[in-house]
Amino acid sequence: MESVRFPCKKDMSWEEAPLLVNPLTSLTPALFPLELCIGRPSILWTLDTREDVG
């Protein structure tokens, strides 16, 4: 059991990576089209309009 844990430590990085990437990838589809059309300020604009809509 102990010897199996050591290789698993390498997999931990692969398991943790999706946790960090998922929030970004979930937001990217919504923001990316605006990024292409308007540019970087679109992120701030989207956040501002989101508060108004909410």
Condensed to tens digits (0 to 9), the pLDDT of residues 4-50 reads 444 445 555 555 655 656 666 666 666 556 556 555 565 666 667 65
Average pLDDT, integer, range 49-53: 59
| Position 39, amino acid | G
Instruction: List the structure tokens of 33.
Output: 């089209």
φ/ψ of 44, rounded to 5, equals: -65, -40
Whether 42 and 31 have beta carbons less than 8 Å apart is answered as: yes
User: Domain residue spans in the chain?
Assistant: 2-53
37 vs 54 pLDDT, higher one: 37
pTM recorded for the entire structure? 0.17
